[in-house]
Amino acid sequence: MHVKLLSAVSLALLLSGCAGITTRSGPIEVWPDMKRQHKFRAQSANSNFADGRTQQLPPEGTVAVGLLKEDGAFYTGQVGGMYVGRNPLTYDKATFELGQKKFNTYCSPCHDRTASGHGVVWKKLPTFAPANLHEDRIRAYPDGEIFDVITNGRRTMKGLKTQITEKDRWAIISYVRVMQRQDGVMADVPPAQQADVR
């Protein structure tokens, strides 16, 4: 009986913890808590640094973990000031499907799902003329140039770099290339579906 009572009491003590219960006077501190100590607050003056601030700017060239963008071709679409010719992604089903999804989300409102340039925005406002991406001029663009258009925009088209990641931009380009290909032959269609082609 005693043992049971004792363990119930110690369990209650354990569960209540030291700081778990809200009390008016605060929990008992056997040793002073670390939150009360000598320290500099973010905005407080600090004579240790020449500029007298506590919060220091990171040294020039500092890159946060995971944000190093070393691969220039991948992140800018250019090498030595020239547009890269070929998309750095491997062309496979996953890339095309990602590109299709992102194109239909971000580009089709203006350029239409077929890339004709006649999306819903154009229907409402034909004078804002999104380009027809099947034009020979655009078909002849190196992949890096289309990357630049998506990233920074061009003339009346606004850049979309804050909305679309670099990888997704390249995937979109691979899908645009698929749509631009107009010399498809029956051999491109899987045999099982050839009969459905009209």
Exactly one of 73, 157, 178, 179 binds ligand HEC (CB under 6 A); that residue is 157
Nearest of 148, 116, 157 to residue 133 by alpha carbon: 116
CA separation for the pair 75, 196 (Å, rounded) = 41
Does position 131 interact with ligand HEC (CB under 6 A)? The reply is yes
DSSP H or E run through 78? strand 78-79
**Backbone angle region of 197, left / alpha / beta, with phi > 0 → left and psi within -120 to 50 → alpha:** beta
Minimum distance from residue 95 beta carbon to ligand HEC (Å): 15
Cβ distance to ligand HEC smaller for residue 88 or 109: 109
Which of 40/83 has CB closer to ligand HEC? 83
Q: Which residues does 110 contact at the CB level (< 8 Å), separation at least 6?
A: 117, 119, 121, 122, 128, 130, 157
Q: Per CB under 6 A, does 156 bind ligand HEC? A: yes
| Residue given tokens 């002073």 in the structure block | 32
Q: Rule CB under 6 A: choose which of 155, 162, 183, 197 binds ligand HEC.
A: 155
Length of the chain: 198
Shortest Cβ 194–ligand HEC spacing (Å): 30
Tell me phi and psi for residue 20, to 5 degrees: -70, -35
Q: Among residues 150, 170, 171, 174, which is the contact residue for ligand HEC, using CB under 6 A?
A: 150
Q: Segment near ligand HEC (CB under 6 A), from 28-36, 44-52, 60-68, 146-154?
A: 146-154
Quick one: 91 or 106, whose CB is closer to ligand HEC?
106
Could you tell me which stretch among 60-68, 86-94, 109-117, 188-196 binds ligand HEC (CB under 6 A)?
A: 109-117
User: Does residue 46 touch ligand HEC according to CB under 6 A?
Assistant: no
| Contact call for residue 171 and ligand HEC (CB under 6 A) | no
Q: What's the Cα-to-Cα distance from 156 to each of 96, 142, 159, rounded to whole Å?
A: 27, 21, 10
Mention every residue, 6+ apart, whose C-beta is less than 8 A from residue 137: none
User: Interface with ligand HEC by CB under 6 A: which residues?
Assistant: 106-107, 109-111, 121, 128-131, 133, 138, 146, 149-150, 154-157, 160, 164, 172, 176
